[in-house]
Amino acid sequence: FYQKFIELSENKGWAGMISRIIKEYRGKGEKGPKGQPTPNEFIRFVLDDLHKLQKNQLAVDQHWRPQYLGCPFCLLDFSVYARMEELDQDSLYFFSKSNLTSRVNYKQKLNSAHAASSTEKKFW
């Protein structure tokens, strides 16, 4: 709040939003700093903005949009959870369930550093 609406209140990028907040949330006769919204006005603005989530998630400003809406992993509906310790078995399960075993060589290890002949295994 402080950086965007107090320190940068003259900034062109925030000026439009600031004047809109003051116009919509500062009642007649209410006092507040000229050209800067009060914390109360800002909170009411954010809460009203968050109500847009039900209609259109992207309409809510990214600065206060809930983080899970921007998380690429949260947007996916996972049906298989794999563990690195059991990746061979979990890969076979995934490719079998997806009917991909005939199209993918799930036994092939592309990262040679972790292949069976790896010097890492000899080291440990």
**In the chain, % of residues over pLDDT 90:** 17
State the pLDDT at residue 46: 92
Residue type, 84: M
| pLDDT tens string 36-59 | 999 999 999 999 988 887 777 667
State the pLDDT at residue 12: 85
State the pLDDT at residue 76: 77
21 neighbors 41 (Cβ within 8 angstroms): yes
Q: Compute the distance between CA of residue 4 and CA of residue 8 in angstroms, rounded to an integer.
A: 5
State the pLDDT at residue 74: 77
pLDDT beneath 50, residues of the chain:
none
